[in-house]
Structure 1
Amino acid sequence: MNLILRLFTFPDLLFSLILFFKFINLNKHCTPLSDRNMAVKEIDGSKLEGGGQVIRLSVALSCLLEQPIQIIKIRAGRSNPGLKPQHIAGIYLVKEMCKGVTRGDQQNSCVLSFEPQSLSMGNFNLNVDSRTAASISLMIQSVLPVAIFSNCSSTITMKGGTDVRFAPPMDYVINVLFPLYHKLFGISCDIHINKRGFYPRGGGDVKFTVNPLNYNGYLKPIEMIDSGSSFESTIRGIIFITEKDTAPVVGQPRLRGSHSKFPPTPSFEFAYDIGVLIKKKLRQFSYNDVKIEINVEKSNVFHGSVVLVAESEKCFIGSSIIYDERKSLTDIVMNVCDKFLMDLMAKSCVDENTMDNLIIFMALANGKSKVKCREITLHTKTAIHIAEQLTNAKFQIKQTEDRLNEIVCEGIGFKRHII
């Protein structure tokens, strides 16, 4: 007994007690949300667009608001329902940011439970590999709203598809979404493409860096209801194309035929012709000063994308297409130019794809936001539905005198909480 007393002196006992009470206090802060009497909100994953957007926005808002959710009927209306690799990759990233607990985050699962803890503060050095051509741009849709409310810069490495169908190509994210987020909300982020990835193998490798908000931890409300000055001096085209290492096949149709399929001639020449036809098309509508940038990358498959960007003082219009050897020059140019011109001629302030990406930020912003757009897509309606279901944000859609749509949102003024 005397030996034990000699081993544990008063300072030792005091130090042990301090550690014990710190441990108890830490456990209080780590109590699962299910034990904090927070009701789980159920979200029907088959409503409206009924696809991955429901998952991406729901998980991001769940993490930020510390609101446990259960998503049911995930992609129920699709021919291949349930979670796919890109959804699971996005869920994993957000889960790591808030040390969440998940159930059902497996491929083809039609029910997902997501139970967040408090948003972790610090530098997120995360890596995710979808092992498929899962869209990296759609993973960013889940991660970005969460990362901006950290108190440090975040670095996230993502592997998958950079330019795949049914998702914005990476050049659209870099040249349309990110500049607009910075201009409107003060969001500062950057992407470095180490390698492009395409369907079906993927293999793309992207380093994504996000800085925290500087505006007192709040998102600023936005107003984009006046098309303002002319777009003409700021129209740009970004053409990306791969060049296969295989030798040309003799007897294929020549490049200069605008209706021909992609011939095995140098890729730069093909991309150059796309640029020529885009300029010709836009000149028909008096847009005479269009700058074209061409980027060629070696690959064992043929893929490409075209992004058009028009920026004025108060508006930002983008359009994009992803193409392969099945697309003719005419198809590529018509597809990328038609919606672009419709938005410009209608004096819309954003394009339809940008609009649905803005909804979550409008819901979180500190005050009333207003944005005027030409078309309210099903994706935009879905984003509004999820935002209203998980936050107290209120949206209104008004038709303007010039037959455009004005989306008005009273944001909740979400603020970063430093722990």
Structure 2
Amino acid sequence: MITIDGNQGEGGGQILRTSLFFSLVLGEEVRVEKIRAKRENPGLRPQHLAAIRAFAEVTGGEVENAKVGASWIRFRPSDKAKGETTIEVGTAGSVTLILQSLLPAVALAGRRASVKVKGGTDTKWSPTYEYFKRVFEPAANAMGLRISTRLLRRGYYPIGGGLVEGTAHPSEVVEEKDFCLPPTKRAGTIVSVSSNLRRDVVKRQCGAAREALETRGVEVEATEAREEEANSPGSSVLVYRTEPDRCYFGGDAIGERGLPAESVGRAAARIFLATLDSGASVDPHLADMLVPLMAFSKRARLLTDRETPHLTTNLAVAKAFTGCDFYLQRAGRLCEVIVAGRRR
């Protein structure tokens, strides 16, 4: 059994989800202690319990001490997978955070699964569904995974009610992978969505993002502006750029009550431009998402525009489980991450 300090690094729910990921892939029991010990509401919260339940229900694993407020949990992976299940995150808990760790884990464990997750698809402090689908998913599949998702219904804070269907097929990470080439041109795509708001909101978000890009000499290759059904009002914007086997990055933003639609569009563009202007190939959020996958390659490398606590924390958890070597260093204005395969 491996014991993980849940209070290290960023000290949040990410450590728990990453630990569940490695536990399932390696078939090794894990105990996570001091969960969110320094947070205002320490211990497990409902959204973290949803992630634990998802791993247990999809894979047939066993969990000890899974309750709100718990400071530790123990997870025993199993090969008695259900294959198909529906997970209720509750209200607007993030759907994408669960799928981000669950689908790759199932695939790398050599299993098939189809799962529907109900909750928030576009919420703060987590990737929007559009980012997950258009940035994370293709980058993960470029590493050898066979995962896919389909949006069935959008869900926003505070009601949630979103629904995403995800599938995973047995996969192996490629032996070597580099995400180190900048985009071939300064260009991006804009996706603006809204639900139960004035009809002009979705267009104003998109227009503001376009203006922010074009002012900086960035070509807008395509735009999508869609109104979709949801249980509560909400909106989001994604500005992204992906080039197969070259670069994967994006910037997303969530609409909030009292926040002008133009501000949402500009916020997404600003995040996108930070990575584009740096010459990086991967944005800082995707960088930490890719680390668990990189740990199973013989050698993998990426260039991102900045180091984050989530990145360094995931590297530490990856090393604890796999014994992989990693190097984190400055490369001019960029941050270079090199992970040299598992040792255990």
- Answer whether contact 1:219 1:361 (CA < 8 A) is retained: no
Corresponding residue to 2:143 among 185, 197, 201? 185
- The CA deviation string for residues 320-339 of structure 1, in whole angstroms up to 9 with x for no partner, is 01112221234213321222
Match of 1:227 in 2: 182
- Answer whether contact 1:94 1:146 (CA < 8 A) is retained: no
Match of 2:134 in 1: 175
* Superposition pairs of residues 164-313 of structure 1, within 5 angstroms: 164-182=123-141, 184-213=142-171, 217-227=172-182, 229-232=184-187, 235-244=188-197, 266-267=198-199, 269-299=200-230, 301-312=232-243
* Structure 1 segments unaligned to the other structure (5+ residues): 1-39, 245-265, 415-419
Q: Does 1:341 align with 2:273?
A: yes
Q: Could you say if the C-alpha distance between residues 282 and 109 of structure 1 is closer, same or farther in structure 2, counting changes exceeding 3 Å? A: same
Corresponding residue to 1:389 among 320, 328, 335? 320
* Structure 2 segments unaligned to the other structure (5+ residues): none
Write the distance in 1 (CA, Å) between the matches of 2:274 and 2:164: 32
Q: 1:208: how far off?
A: 0.9
- TM-score (ref. length: structure 1): 0.77
Match of 1:47 in 2: 8
- The CA deviation string for residues 277-329 of structure 1, in whole angstroms up to 9 with x for no partner, is 22211112211333210110244532111011112351112110111222123
Q: Could you say if the C-alpha distance between residues 218 and 271 of structure 1 is closer, same or farther in structure 2, counting changes exceeding 3 Å? A: closer
- Answer whether contact 2:186 2:219 (CA < 8 A) is retained: no
- TM-score (ref. length: structure 2): 0.93
Q: Does 1:116 align with 2:77?
A: yes
Q: Does 1:410 align with 2:340?
A: yes
Write the distance in 2 (CA, Å) between the matches of 1:101 and 1:312: 40
**Which amino acid is the alignment partner of residue 55 of structure 1?**
L
- Answer whether contact 2:295 2:342 (CA < 8 A) is retained: yes
Match of 1:125 in 2: 84
Q: 1:76: how far off?
A: 1.2
Q: Could you say if the C-alpha distance between residues 406 and 280 of structure 1 is closer, same or farther in structure 2, counting changes exceeding 3 Å? A: same
- The CA deviation string for residues 342-387 of structure 1, in whole angstroms up to 9 with x for no partner, is 211110101111111000000022x111101111111111111111
Corresponding residue to 1:143 among 98, 102, 106? 102
Match of 1:328 in 2: 260
Write the distance in 1 (CA, Å) between the matches of 2:341 and 2:73: 27
Aligned with 2:108: secondary structure?
A: coil
- Answer whether contact 1:364 1:413 (CA < 8 A) is retained: no
Write the distance in 1 (CA, Å) between the matches of 2:330 and 2:49: 38
Match of 1:351 in 2: 283
Aligned with 1:77: secondary structure?
A: coil
Q: 1:188: how far off?
A: 2.5
- Answer whether contact 1:302 1:324 (CA < 8 A) is retained: no
Write the distance in 2 (CA, Å) between the matches of 1:276 and 1:334: 9
* Superposition pairs of residues 63-102 of structure 1, within 5 angstroms: 63-102=24-63
**Which amino acid is the alignment partner of residue 174 of structure 1?**
K
Write the distance in 1 (CA, Å) between the matches of 2:343 and 2:130: 31
- Answer whether contact 1:73 1:111 (CA < 8 A) is retained: yes
Aligned with 1:222: secondary structure?
A: strand
Comparing 127-136 with 387-396, greater Cα deviation is found at 127-136
- The CA deviation string for residues 208-254 of structure 1, in whole angstroms up to 9 with x for no partner, is 112222xxx4444310222152142xx1111110125xxxxxxxxxx
Q: 1:130: how far off?
A: 2.3
- Answer whether contact 1:86 1:139 (CA < 8 A) is retained: no
- Answer whether contact 1:194 1:205 (CA < 8 A) is retained: yes
Write the distance in 2 (CA, Å) between the matches of 1:274 and 1:174: 20
State, as a whole percentage, how many aligned pairs show the same letter.
Answer: 25
Write the distance in 1 (CA, Å) between the matches of 2:252 and 2:23: 31
Write the distance in 2 (CA, Å) between the matches of 1:127 and 1:299: 19
Write the distance in 2 (CA, Å) between the matches of 1:300 and 1:69: 37
Q: 1:126: how far off?
A: 1.8
User: Aligned pairs, how many?
Assistant: 343
- Answer whether contact 1:279 1:290 (CA < 8 A) is retained: no
